[in-house]
Amino acid sequence: MIVVGIDPHMKTHTAVALDAVTGRSIASKTVACDERGHDALLLWARSLGTEHYFAIEDCRHVSGRLERYLLPRSERVVRVPPKMMAGARSSARTYGKSDPIDAACVARAALREPDLPEAHLVGPELDVRLLTDHRADLVQERGRIQNRLRWNCHDLEVGLELPPRVLDRYVWLDRLEEALLALPESVRRRIAIEQVGCCRGLTRQIRVLERAIEALTRELIPELLAFPGCAAISAAHLVGQTAGASRFSSEAAFAMHDGTAPLPVSSGKSERHRLNRTGNRQLNSTIHMIAVTQIRMHPPAIAFMERKRSEGMSNREALRCLKRHISRAVYKTMVRAERARAGRVLAVDFTADPLAVAV
């Protein structure tokens, strides 16, 4: 078996082939990031042996095109997190940094961790991810404008008391605009009025996006919307950041990915675990919000927290346990939904293509 580690870049991809048994470097190659370069890379890899697979550093803004080329050609591709590759480089006997060194470290990391999630062709999860990322950018931009607007209002001595978190509501924006128009003409007043218009326009865009996200999520995985404490935006973050729960070998692997699996820090007779600060922090944040919501209004979660506290755990330790249970339930829900969706697609394909039924 040969592992082809790839260090992807915007213009070129560098590949290093390692023997899976000995870890010895066999060959290396650098190709352009275009169709001809991908053809040359695949022919080179296949010339090394029939049993091989690709390990690509998980930088999908530069590696996505290569993945979309390899997967339809029945090539196995695993994604190696950048931090794992960096750890392999720091423990290697070869010092320095170059593209071939990085590619070899990607391959060694894949050999060391055989349960890495495999890449698959992009599905509707990418659309959800793009929409949620775009909404997050707009919310962030609106927050910056709101902060500047508040300082301008403070300097202008606007006779209107603005409570916290009201500058995304049309009624308060209208009140503020009326108060600004009543002030004497000045450059700061004109800028503040323009900022009110920007907040109103961004709020309108954000709400349109939220409706689109909710509709897409409801069509894609309605089971997640029925999960206690999981609203449409949280469900969209779970779907978009996971990018297919079926690619994980188990719910434990998914828990390591989202950072809810506690890390063992036992030594001698002391057996304990500590908080996992690794993994996808956006996924972890979404699961944390679901857990906090459940603690407030979901009776099973409230009973779970009380039971853990009665066992001597602190609130933080009990919350970590609850997040781990939520991660397990979310994983199973998404896997069931993906399998059901695949069955529906398969049924449609069979109905549309009579030859598929005959086969």
Q: Which amino acid is at 115?
A: D
- For the chain, percent of residues with pLDDT exceeding 90: 47
> What was the pLDDT predicted at 356?
33
pLDDT-based confidence at 292, cuts 50/70/90?
very high
Give the predicted TM-score (pTM) of the model.
0.74
How many angstroms separate the CA atoms of 175 and 160, rounded? 8
How many angstroms separate the CA atoms of 120 and 67, rounded? 8
Higher pLDDT, 260 or 206: 206
- For the chain, percent of residues with pLDDT exceeding 70: 89
Model pLDDT for residues 12-26, shown as the tens digit of each residue: 999 999 988 888 889
Q: CA of 49: how far to CAs of 27, 52, 70, 118, in Å? A: 12, 7, 16, 20
Does residue 316 register a pLDDT over 60?
yes
> What was the pLDDT predicted at 30?
92
Does residue 7 register a pLDDT over 80?
yes
> What was the pLDDT predicted at 86?
62
Averaged pLDDT score across all residues of the chain: 85
Contacts of 318 by beta carbon, 8 Å cutoff, 6+ apart:
304, 305, 308, 309
- Mapping DSSP onto H, E and C, the string for 217-228 reads HHHHCHHHHCCC
> What was the pLDDT predicted at 346?
42
> What was the pLDDT predicted at 291?
94
Q: Which of these ranges, 6-10, 57-61, 119-123, 310-314, has the smallest mean pLDDT?
A: 119-123
Model pLDDT for residues 321-358, shown as the tens digit of each residue: 999 999 999 999 999 888 887 776 444 343 333 333 33
φ, ψ at 48 (rounded to 5°): -80, -25
DSSP tag of 103: H
Q: Which amino acid is at 113?
A: E
For residue 329, what are its two tokens?
Answer: 């339930």
Model pLDDT for residues 59-70, shown as the tens digit of each residue: 767 888 888 889
pLDDT-based confidence at 269, cuts 50/70/90?
low
> What was the pLDDT predicted at 61?
77
Nearest Cα neighbor of 173 from 157, 154, 187, 192 is 192
Model pLDDT for residues 223-250, shown as the tens digit of each residue: 888 889 999 999 999 998 888 888 888 8
Does residue 82 register a pLDDT over 90?
no
Model pLDDT for residues 128-155, shown as the tens digit of each residue: 988 999 999 999 999 999 999 999 999 9
CA 25 to chain CA mean position, Å? 33
Does residue 118 register a pLDDT over 80?
no
For residue 273, what are its two tokens?
Answer: 């675990």
pLDDT-based confidence at 93, cuts 50/70/90?
low
3-state secondary structure of 180: helix
Domain boundaries, the chain: 2-112, 124-220, 232-262+279-352
CATH 3.30.420.10 given to domain 2-112? yes
> What was the pLDDT predicted at 147?
96
> Which residues make beta-bridge pairs with 270?
267
> What was the pLDDT predicted at 62?
84
> What was the pLDDT predicted at 126?
83
Secondary-structure breakdown of the chain: helix, strand, coil percentages, each rounded to the nearest 5: 65, 10, 25
DSSP tag of 193: H
φ, ψ at 6 (rounded to 5°): -130, 130
How many angstroms separate the CA atoms of 228 and 241, rounded? 19
Nearest Cα neighbor of 233 from 218, 248, 244 is 218
How many angstroms separate the CA atoms of 111 and 116, rounded? 10
Contacts of 302 by beta carbon, 8 Å cutoff, 6+ apart:
294, 295
> What was the pLDDT predicted at 120?
73
pLDDT-based confidence at 90, cuts 50/70/90?
low
Q: For the chain, give the number of residues.
A: 359
Burial of 71 (0-12, 13-18, 19+ CB in 10 A): middle
Question: Cα angle vertex 30, ends 26, 35, to 5°?
Answer: 120
Nearest Cα neighbor of 247 from 76, 130, 108, 88 is 76
Q: Is 2:48 a contact under the CB 8 Å cutoff?
A: yes
Does residue 162 register a pLDDT over 50?
yes
Q: Is 291:301 a contact under the CB 8 Å cutoff?
A: yes
